[in-house]
Amino acid sequence: METNNDYRLRPSFGDSFGTGWSVMWDNFLRLFLVVLVVAILSGPTKIFHMNFNGSDLHNLPFDWHGHWGHDLISLAPLGLLAGFFGLLALLYSFLALPVIEFGSKMIFVQAVRKIKPDFELLLKGFWENYLNIILANLLVVALVILGCIALIIPGIIIGCRLVFVSYLVMDKKLDPIEAVEQSWKLTRGHGWTIFFMGFVSIFIVIFGLILMIVGIFPAIMWVSSSFASLYQSVINETEKPAEPATVQA
């Protein structure tokens, strides 16, 4: 889909971040609301994440050293409860959160295309394209993990080359295998651009956190707009109609 707007849509590091900056400010309130909703809906994975440290038991009202057997029995229900919430967090991370995240990425693509963002996309995936979203996310996670096990660098390469999977599932309605194959094809020749964008994005987010935490929202909006701009730039470049050959007399 080629768009006709005044954004500088070129698949380069500078143009992607420059266009992302413009997209962010042109749609600030709408994109801020998207990021805020995603942050809230991502909350359960943080709430259910429980860590127990043995040193913390010294602060409890019972004698940990003197009656350890009885105390372990009394702590057993807490361990089961933590395990239960951990399982809920894991299921939520793989069966619900990807729908929200994929939908939010498509909203940023709409902003790049100067289409009024459809907030229903945040939840529409639950009744439209749900299985493809879940399986695509699972496939990408598995491939990246396998790549990281193989000395990390292959995992980074795979992560960069599959960065468009979520966009393709939402935008082109591709199934997981097709999305992975198409993302690998589209990112050919753009791997270093994606890598450096991801690397710089880390520092943008850190800088946003330093600015009294509230800066994290514009930071995420800028990064998300920039990657959506890169995706649209590559799509435009790929789908550009071929120039008709000139016939010489």
Residue 99 has pLDDT above 80, yes or no: yes
Residue 89 has pLDDT above 90, yes or no: no
Average pLDDT over residues 42-51: 59
* Residue 117 φ then ψ, to 5°: -60, 135
Model confidence at 16, pLDDT cuts 50, 70, 90, reads: very high
Least-confidence region, from 118-127, 160-169, 174-183, 210-219: 210-219
Supply the DSSP symbol for 243: P
Least-confidence region, from 63-72, 124-133, 153-162, 186-195: 63-72
Supply the DSSP symbol for 54: G
Instruction: Please state the domain extents for the chain.
Output: 13-42+98-239
Residue 31 confidence (pLDDT): 96
With b for 16 or more beta-carbon neighbours within 10 A and e for fewer, the 88-97 pattern comes to ebeeebeebb
Q: Is the separation of the CB atoms in 3 and 235 below 8 Å?
A: no
Most trustworthy range by pLDDT among 42-46, 74-78, 90-94, 220-224:
220-224
Retrieve residue 75's tokens: 């702590």
Cα torsion 171, 172, 178, 181: sign: negative
Spatial CA neighbour of 198 closest among 223, 235, 225, 162: 223
Residue 179 has pLDDT above 90, yes or no: yes
Max CA separation in the chain (angstroms): 101
Model confidence at 73, pLDDT cuts 50, 70, 90, reads: low
Residue 57 confidence (pLDDT): 46
Average pLDDT over residues 156-177: 96
Angle among Cα 143, 133, 84 to the nearest 5 degrees reads 80
Least-confidence region, from 35-39, 77-81, 101-105, 119-123: 77-81
Measure the CA–CA gap between 196 and 46, rounded to whole angstroms.
Answer: 28
Q: What are the CA-CA distances from residue 101 to residues 5, 133, 147 (Å)?
A: 26, 10, 23
Tally of CB atoms within 10 A around 202:
10
- Cα pseudo-dihedral 223, 226, 228, 234, rounded to 10: -140
Instruction: Quick: pLDDT tens for 223-236.
Output: 999 999 999 999 99
